[in-house]
Structure 1
Amino acid sequence: MIDDDKVIDNLDDLEAFLISVESGSLGLQNIAGVAMATHNASGRHFVAVLDDKNQLLLGRWVTEEVFQTGQDLVRNGPRRKH
């Protein structure tokens, strides 16, 4: 499920989202990973929280700039700790 109301438009917000995923504060179960992705139908970019079967648990839209500059942050994890 992608939350249409929320768009991550800067790296600080992306990092905060990643921290909330890692800390468990979103209440998601069975998280296996986080990835940047592109929606097939619309071409919009989003950050995806995936389960162990690579099924989407939660997604948040990201701007083009965050998609381009935030890939290392998603790949390596947040610098701040929760």
Structure 2
Amino acid sequence: MADIINLRQARKRKARAEQERLAEQNRTLHGRSRADRKRDRSIADKAEKFVAGHRREASGDPDPPSIGPKSATRFSDKSDA
């Protein structure tokens, strides 16, 4: 005689196996642990702070002071006399 199989349980077992297969596939495609993501985020933040700290002017300044010969104060010859 044949083995008696509960079809409901067999369907559930098959669905679970399919979900596990899809989950394994997604883990290999997209799988990075939380620690990996956190480490990469902290490295990126550290690099951004380093670059921001070495910028010449602050990013929030609406009108940075200009430097160069055009911005220098001019003296006339009459002021020396």
TM-score by length of 2: 0.20
Q: Which has the larger radius of gyration?
A: 2
* Structure 1 or 2: more strand by fraction: 1
Task: Indicate the structure whose relative CO is greater, using CA pairs within 8 Å and at least 6 residues apart.
Answer: 1
* Structure 1 or 2: more helix by fraction: 2
TM-score by length of 1: 0.20
